Amino acid sequence: MKPLPDPYAIEPLAKAPNCTITVPGSKSITNRALILAALSDKKCVLRGALWAKDTQVMVEALWELDFDVDVEPDLVEECNRTITVHGRGGKIPKHNAELYVGNAGTAARFLTALVCLGHGEYRIYGDERMHERPMGELFEALRRWGAEIEAEDDRLPAVVHIDHLRPKPITIATKDSSQFASAMILIERAAKAEACISLEGVADEYGYVSMTRRLVETFDPDFRIEPDLSSASYFVAAAHLCGGTVEIADWPGESLQIDGKFPEFLAGLRRAGPARPTTVSRVRDLGDSVMTLAICALFGSQPMQLVDAGRLRVQETDRIGAMMTELQRVGAKVEEHEDGFTVWPAEPGQLHGAEIETYDDHRMAMSFAVLGLKVPGILIKNPSCVNKTFPNFFEKLEQLRQEPSP
């Protein structure tokens, strides 16, 4: 990818877009599929797998654990790869390893659970922000299954000492992160721990825990990764705000991803009637696309109220606080709540340009880039933070300005 100017200026679209956008594979599915492939007793081929920081650290950790993993280019999307993993039937080849996870929550949580199927000592560490993010609920679950985990304040870095797991019934809270439950579900069969895991917290019928359970049931040695629908939301939003037509290539008919419902909630922002808030749950309704929806709510007819979103405070940054600060910076009317926020539609001329602090958070950069398609003067600081999940995002954004092929 070409180096990006910092800050990166977003120019409003001069006319409605008319194009088809290919977005990279789902980060959430790719990292789950990599774990399931490693646990398989077969050679597994993952097609359309995302190749970005969060998935690269997962592959590098599998290499460090002596798994045989081959990575080949994807002929359609430059930020995808075809990844072949030679599964080891639930065994961890290496007995001593240091695994770096960056600021990838999925890699941190899933690898911590994975190495507990091994025999030996494993150190897991990440960057400064990852060392601030919660891990205690996962550590406690693994300790109850027989792992010895050394970690100050129950955060990374951590050293796992393991001989063998002794599963017993456990209840895992999902308030801080659903990834704790997903990590345990991914190793459940290999640990011979079926029916040992129950959840405490808000129902997750369509969310990330449900994604994990469905992947465990449907995973196949020749597996295609869905496009990342959180990433697709920026381009769906562009058409919603600017008119025109933006198609997302290979949008799945029946998706594993909760953000497949983004177009439905987007349409709800323009319903007629009294100005009562459109309420959106971060757990039951949408995933990371709630941030895109908040940008779109500025141009809707109804306020948007986000609820059940406490997890956003312990992700790449405190996303609730960050969204409130940056939305106010551009002149929006917002109100912060403990587990969410409310955004009101803007009056004509209310919004204005500003330099947007991204807090090294890819979702902040991409969400406010969408705002720049409508509001002049939006500058995205540290734009390269999109490398976490969507390295060529700004190139794709420019495709909205291109004339369709004859």
Active-site positions read 288
Residue 68: φ, ψ to 5°: -90, 105
Nearest Cα to Cα of residue 261 among 219, 296, 304, 290: 290
Tokens of 4: 């990006």
* CA-to-CA dists, residue 302 to 283, 324, 343, 344, 347, angstroms: 21, 18, 9, 7, 12
What single DSSP character describes residue 41?
S
37-75: string of b/e by CB count within 10 Å (b at 16+)? bbbbeeebbbbbbbbbbbbbbbbbbbeebebebebeebe
Report which residue type is found at 311.
R
Give the other-Cβ count within 10 Å of 192's Cβ: 10
Nearest Cα to Cα of residue 308 among 277, 268, 265, 338: 338
Which is it for strands 354-356 and 245-248: parallel, antiparallel or unpaired?
unpaired
